[in-house]
Amino acid sequence: MEDLESILQKHSFLADLRPEHVKLIVGCAKNLRFRPGEFLAREGQKEACMYLIRRGTVAIETHAPNGETICIETLMPGDVLGISWVTPATAHFDCRARDTVIAFSLDHDCLDRKMREDAALGYAITSRLLDNTYQRLSRLRLQQLDVYR
């Protein structure tokens, strides 16, 4: 049976992270399961953690002025949820499990403290979050251009 450290190391967000940094992150991680329809985050609530999606899909949703719920992106295994978590901020969207989701939850306060104590870890996580943000913005730009239809 694999331990949490080796499973974390396999997630694409942490895949090439130095082993000593993965060891630090293990202390901040929980392995969670969400049922279909369950919320991982709610718009306006504080983001106290970041999720590394392992299995299942998560809909990132917003609400139109008429109250309609609109899915603006679907996250898949290997994706990260809560990229504004570093600040920490409040969630800008509802994030709902579309099916059974298994994810690692990385506690903000714990990881923030470790990132401040180890500048190399802080740089590694921050640069990954920036890359993730850039990729997400690129996908949203393409959606706005109606490329996917």
Note down the domain range covering 36. 4-144
pLDDT digits (tens, 9 = 90+) for 23-42: 999 999 999 999 999 999 99
Residue 133 lies in a domain: yes
Residue 149 lies in a domain: no
pLDDT digits (tens, 9 = 90+) for 90-139: 888 899 999 999 999 999 989 999 999 999 999 999 999 888 888 877 77
The structural domain count of the chain equals 1
- In the structure, what pLDDT confidence band is assigned to residue 87 with cuts at 50, 70 and 90? low
Bridge partner residues of 105 (DSSP): 30, 51
For the CA atoms of 112, 114, 60, 57, the dihedral, rounded to the nearest 10 degrees, stands at: -160
For residue 90, give the CATH number of its domain: 2.60.120.10
